[in-house]
Amino acid sequence: MADNGSDFARSMSIATSGLRAQAGRMRVISENIANADSTGQSAGGDPYRRKIPTFSSELDRTLDAKVVTLGRVRPDASAFRVKYEPSNPAADAAGNVKYPNVNTVIEMTDMREAQRSYEANLNIISATRRMIQRTLDILKA
């Protein structure tokens, strides 16, 4: 019976790590979307740079299971969008304004994928809870 208990705990731990990682991913994506139309603080200055979340795998020694964590959030090195807007306070001497390298369609697609992964992990936790409850019900009978 101890094996089943540790299997349940391992399953819950792995799914919980997935929830945390996807929640972190959604925070980064939300920040990207929120800053999609921002400009630099000064004339010709660089605007917000898109951030890319990464994931890493760690060994949880207490459960002897690999769990996922939100890894380093790195900047996207792609070019900024540039628009000719000479009246904008953020325009450089040539009248060009740099906008973030954020594509809201890509961000929304990534957000939907993160949401689906989050929901999948939540379903694993719910299924594991149901199995634990059924096991307890069987033991009571």
Mean residue pLDDT of the chain comes to: 92
Q: Which token pair is 108?
A: 């929304």
Number of domains in the chain: 1
Tens-place pLDDT, residues 46-81:
999 999 999 999 888 887 888 999 999 999 999 999
The pLDDT-based confidence of 8 (bands split at 50, 70, 90) is confident
- Whether residue 18 contacts residue 70, with contact meaning beta carbons closer than 8 Å, is answered with no
Q: Judging by beta carbons within 10 Å of its beta carbon (0-12, 13-18, 19+), is residue 32 exposed, middle or buried?
A: buried
Measure Cα distances from 118 to 17, 26, 55, 121, 137 in Å.
Answer: 10, 10, 14, 5, 29
Measure Cα distances from 44 to 84, 93, 101, 130 in Å.
Answer: 12, 7, 15, 58
Which residue segment(s) compose the domain that 60 sits in?
2-140
Round to the nearest angstrom and report the end-to-end CA distance of the chain: 16
pTM of the predicted structure, to 2 decimals: 0.84
CA distance 82 to 13: 45
| Dihedral sign from CA coordinates of 132, 135, 140, 141 | positive
Specify the DSSP class assigned to residue 57.
E
Mean pLDDT of 15-41: 95
- Whether residue 68 contacts residue 13, with contact meaning beta carbons closer than 8 Å, is answered with no
